[in-house]
Structure 1
Amino acid sequence: MSRLPAGSQTSLREANTALIVNAVKQFGGLTQVELTGATGLSPATVSTIVKELTRSGVVDTRPTSRSGRRAQMVTLARRTGLAAGVVVGDRTLRVLLGDFGHEVVADRSMPLPPEHPMDTVLDRIALLVVDMLELVGSELDELAGIGIGLPAPVDASTGMLSVRGILRGWDSEHIGDVMGKRLGRPVYVQNDANLGALAEATLGHAREYADSVYVRASYGTGAGIMLGGRLHGGYGGTAGEIGHVQVDPLGQICRCGRRGCLDTVVGAEALMASLQISHGRLTFRDVITRASDGDPGCARVVTDAGRTVGRVLAGLCQAVNPQIVTVGGELAECGDVFLLPLREALVEHALPNQIAPMEVSPARLGTDAEAMGALLHALQSTDLTGPPEPTRGGRG
């Protein structure tokens, strides 16, 4: 039998090592038998590479059991470092620190002013990250990377916003580069709904499916798409931007400059405005709480919002044919008040598939999905098998 040249053998070993490390990063931990299935490598190859990675300090192994049989669980070593997941919301900033086993070791939030300026927010992120690292006894050079989720379309290749006006004051800025210079660590920027989709596909109800859609129904509405187990942002990052699909040609002007977008009808500002005459001045949280508690007026606007989102979502699902739709964001906290009309509208307006009917489920991670997705994005973007990566704006 002919043997591969030495260079080819080295390249194959490196490729197989990367397969194993990436599989462990994606799922947080797998047994060696599960690694064989996930990578397609032989049990002997998996065993050999896991031993090498254990000796080099990249992975740890510990005894476990699967179906009553003893097995070796493989996880990334804690000493490989931590990562940060950041979500910049309409009113809040949230930062998670977690390790390569997907364990969150610190979680902090702080309020943000309306129309928050970019420099102020990035300064706060940098301060929070440094403070949280100190809190858990780690140094900045132990931080493998930072994932940042923004409520706007992001071109993942540059980390820049791809549509003007949606996040005012952040346009035309290389956000990842600016943040990377503050902390000297790699930064990966993505749309928040895309990160929610990544989290649900990795840790949530979509984990068993190759094709899924995640809907974030919050101050604005967006969707993240996973196809073939990979995040699909589209060319320039605008895939899944259902919040800017027109639903009312005579409606209000949207931040994107067009009229009657979904966000102008079901966004937080629209819901609060529709209740002002009957309920006075309410916060978005007030609307969510009262709708959940059965207030007729608040329940009505949330129900109408669910029906409208479902109708728009039907078009997206007709185009990509996902196996499951998971729904997160604050509006999903209302349960069936929001989800039932969304499901009904989705069924009514999407072509029924008798072979593989689509499942609709509340997000398993709830309102944590985007922050966990940002953390996962940073972890999965980190190359543990080669030299440290340079700081860059973002990647899909």
Structure 2
Amino acid sequence: MPPPGSLERLRVANRRAITGLLAAEGPMSRADLTRASGLSRTTVSSLVGALIASGQVRETAGRGRPHKGGSGRPPVLVALSTPAGGVAGVDVGHRHVRVAVADRGGTVLAEDLAELDVDAHGAEALDRAAAMVRTLLDRAGVPRADLHAVGMCVPAPLDRRSARISTGIMPGWRHLRPARELARRLGVPVHADNDANLGALAELHHGVARGVADLVYLKVASGLGAGIVLGGRLHRGVSGIAGELGHVQVGEDGLVCRCGNRGCLETVVAAPRLIDLLAPAYDEELTTERVLELDDAGDPGVRRVLDDAGRTVGRAVADLCNSLNPEAVVVGGSLGTAPSLVSGVRHAVDRYAQPDTAAAVRVVPGALGDRAEVVGAVALAIARVAAA
């Protein structure tokens, strides 16, 4: 038998899994919780009973639908109790900070976006994020003393052991622990994770991947990364940097990457690189938004470049699919809605993945667009509060 301390840690982790699902998904039946968490029916029933007894979870008046449209009795749904106060989500991108304040049921009450050079100015970005949180709390009518936690995403690998950004991708953050620094500014717990991980979490619970247990969330923006969900849970790896697809080497003599290597996939297909490729052929200043408009309008140059980029990314994604056999690849980030890019990924997966693997996986654009990361950050904050 494992020691008592190990059993208690396991029970805490299982409780966190249940409350995290309810925080992100809303009311669920015990059977749905069993399927989504991968825990046994007996374990889920025991955990839900204890959470109801403690007041953290309640049974709702509404009823759910039988699994797969069956004709059985509608199941009882359970939901997180919604106490007073709120949480915040902070999405730190390479060129922006987006903040949302929400109630503890996940309803966003106020949201704002600021453009700034985040990579080179870590302390200033954290100052701005803290100020935005305080302003939005006032705007939403949530007393600052009632802010319970903040979820935060960063656009780089975050080492779980040191709590620091683990490469030189963001030079202005080299000596900072992002969660600790923002917590010091706000006076509440801050929980940080990689942006692609939180994008995956958001699409899993609020977007196109609802009900999918195994998926890869691919973020294509100013950088390139992947969030991996296995068995309904984020897979972060031993040090928290699983899914760094953008730093797969595609050419030994390629361009120098922000991470210090040469020929990384990100140097070929990230949004700034694609805009640089397109710019000489257009007599206007191109932005990511304008590239998306031209793709929708059928512009042949834009479609060719985005399709080529999708095929290049898809070659690496195909290898990942062969290893993980996911049900879905969700393409997100600022370029994730581009049909030509998504189509290119699909074609590459069909060509390079093992045939049965390719046939089993859907390749779809994300539903949440550039809000996926802040939605995931809010969900992370709620889940950590509920599990505390």
Relative to the length of structure 2, the TM-score reads 0.85
- Which amino acid is the alignment partner of residue 181 of structure 2? V
In the TM superposition, what is the alpha-carbon distance from 1:314 to its structure 2 partner?
1.3
- State the match for 2:23 in structure 1: 25
Indicate if the aligned counterparts of 1:195 and 1:224 stay in contact, CA closer than 8 A: yes
Distance change >3 Å, CA 261–CA 139, structure 1 → 2: same
Write the mapping of 1:78-227 to structure 2, written as runs, cut at 5 A.
78-113=82-117, 115-164=119-168, 166-227=169-230
Indicate if the aligned counterparts of 1:193 and 1:224 stay in contact, CA closer than 8 A: yes
Indicate if the aligned counterparts of 1:122 and 1:179 stay in contact, CA closer than 8 A: yes
- Which amino acid is the alignment partner of residue 197 of structure 2? N
- State the match for 2:62 in structure 1: 64
Does residue 1:308 correspond to 2:308, yes or no? no
What residue ranges of structure 1 are gaps of 5+ in the alignment? 1-6, 387-396
Write the mapping of 1:270-349 to structure 2, written as runs, cut at 5 A.
270-280=273-283, 281-335=285-339, 337-349=340-352
Distance change >3 Å, CA 47–CA 277, structure 1 → 2: closer
- Which amino acid is the alignment partner of residue 27 of structure 2? G
In the TM superposition, what is the alpha-carbon distance from 1:91 to its structure 2 partner?
2.2
In the TM superposition, what is the alpha-carbon distance from 1:28 to its structure 2 partner?
2.3
Distance 2:90 2:325 in 1: 30
Distance change >3 Å, CA 366–CA 29, structure 1 → 2: same
Q: Deviations over 1:237-282 (max 9, x none)?
A: 3211111112233321111122221111111221121122211442
In the TM superposition, what is the alpha-carbon distance from 1:283 to its structure 2 partner?
2.1
Indicate if the aligned counterparts of 2:157 and 2:166 stay in contact, CA closer than 8 A: yes
Distance change >3 Å, CA 340–CA 20, structure 1 → 2: closer
Distance change >3 Å, CA 316–CA 353, structure 1 → 2: same
- Which amino acid is the alignment partner of residue 210 of structure 1? A
- Which amino acid is the alignment partner of residue 288 of structure 1? L
Secondary structure in structure 2 of the residue aligned to 1:264: helix
- State the match for 2:248 in structure 1: 245
Q: Deviations over 1:301-353 (max 9, x none)?
A: 11111111111111222222222211111212222x11111101011111122
Indicate if the aligned counterparts of 1:310 and 1:346 stay in contact, CA closer than 8 A: yes
Indicate if the aligned counterparts of 2:321 and 2:357 stay in contact, CA closer than 8 A: no
Distance 1:47 1:249 in 2: 53
- Which amino acid is the alignment partner of residue 339 of structure 1? V
Distance 2:34 2:250 in 1: 48
What residue ranges of structure 2 are gaps of 5+ in the alignment? 66-70
Q: Which structure has the bigger radius of gyration?
A: 1
Q: Deviations over 1:196-249 (max 9, x none)?
A: 111222223333232211000111111011122221122323211111112233
Distance 1:42 1:310 in 2: 39
Distance change >3 Å, CA 45–CA 153, structure 1 → 2: closer
- The alignment's C-alpha RMSD in Å is 3.0
Distance change >3 Å, CA 43–CA 303, structure 1 → 2: closer
Identity of aligned residues (%): 37
Distance 1:44 1:309 in 2: 43
- Which amino acid is the alignment partner of residue 23 of structure 2? K
Relative to the length of structure 1, the TM-score reads 0.84
